[in-house]
Amino acid sequence: FGRTEVIDNTLNPDFVRKFVLDFFFEEKQNLRFDVYNVDTRSSNLSKHDFLGQMFCTLGEIIGSTGSRLERTLSFTICHKTEVIKNNLNPVWQSFTIPVRALCNGDYDRTVKVDVFDWDRDGSHDFIGEFTTSYRELSRGQSQFNVYEVLNPKKKGKKKKYINSGTVTLLSFKVESEYTFVDFIRGGTQLNFTVAIDFTASNGNPSQPTSLHYMSPYQMNAYAMALKAVGEIIQDYDSDKLFPAYGFGAKLPPDGKISHAFPLVDWPNQNTVKHSVQSKRRIKQNKNKTVSVVIS
């Protein structure tokens, strides 16, 4: 199979990539076209939204005027209601569906609703259908959201056929689900506070097996954690400075046990905030001045 390039931000893409197929007049060469909405760079189609598909043969394309064939993409099922038995005037339960699943953000995209008469053996009888859109549904309960359910076959055979019933929208409500990016754009600041464990469970800092061991060749586990998390979080903090504390150590000069002390090098410092880089350096120096406590 072949795949076209991705066309960004358009509802009517004009693909450039073409595919050369060998045509055999004596054979029926079936073709299938799948259309996806691509949101990421992943080549895995399961990561993208399936919009629809179309089937035809190569002969149909060649035999069409100008070798151009136009078909409507098939619809994708996005929701099924519960079954209401023995009732000619059913009222279905309300349900929630993401706008992305319903119309992928296209408020004017056609939404088709099929109505069936349920049968136990699975051979459900088609009653009729109607179409609407997100924009129409968003009007809520009104005269605009009363739909005639039509059966195309009956409409074509019976001159006096009007409809197979009506469906009325009883309620419609949009609830916004804000993303992380929405909060950041709205001015949200992330506060990141660091607390480092100095208890003896980390091992002797002078031994390579200790989580506090300062190797000349690589960062220890605490330093790597500070770097990995801090360098991400700092982009969402205005001053890029974070409170840093330690716990579980005997502090100089009197050797008292403390379970909450600032990681600073001088006692009269008014702030305990540091950047990611300085926090790592202070932690290194702190290891040299405190004694661990057996936890």
Q: Is the pLDDT of residue 190 over 70?
A: yes
User: Residues 15-70: pLDDT tens digits?
Assistant: 889 888 888 877 889 998 988 888 888 888 878 877 888 888 888 888 888 788 88
Give the mean pLDDT of the chain: 82
User: Residues 79-131: pLDDT tens digits?
Assistant: 999 999 999 999 999 999 988 888 877 888 889 999 999 988 888 899 999 99
Q: Is the pLDDT of residue 295 over 50?
A: no
Contact 97, 76 (CB under 8 A): no
User: Residues 203-233: pLDDT tens digits?
Assistant: 888 888 888 888 888 888 888 888 888 888 8
Rounded to whole angstroms, how far apart are CA atoms 209 and 179? 41
Q: Let me know the angle formed at the C-alpha of 153 by 150 and 155, rounded to the nearest 5 degrees.
A: 55
User: Residues 139-156: pLDDT tens digits?
Assistant: 988 888 999 999 988 988
0.75 exceeded by the pTM?
Answer: no
Average pLDDT over residues 135-139: 92
Smallest CA-to-CA distance from 32 within 5, 15, 52 is with 52
Smallest CA-to-CA distance from 125 within 102, 99, 100, 149 is with 149
Residue type, 268: N
Rounded to whole angstroms, how far apart are CA atoms 236 and 229? 12
Smallest CA-to-CA distance from 279 within 192, 209, 199, 218 is with 192
Beta-bridge partners for 261: 246
Burial bucket for residue 292 (CB in 10 Å: 0-12, 13-18, 19+)? buried
Beta-bridge partners for 191: none
Q: Is the pLDDT of residue 264 over 70?
A: no
Rounded to whole angstroms, how far apart are CA atoms 147 and 132? 9
- For 100-139, give one letter per residue: b (16+ CB within 10 A) or e: eebbbeeeeeebeeebeeeeeeeeeeeebbbebebebbee
Which H or E element spans position 63? helix 58-63
Unique residue bearing structure tokens 């409170």? 243
* Cα distances (angstroms) measured from residue 113 to each of 73, 100, 143, 165, 198: 16, 17, 18, 13, 63
Higher pLDDT, 28 or 290: 28
The CB density around residue 290, as the number of other CB atoms within 10 Å, is 20
Phi, psi of 281 (to 5 degrees): -65, -40
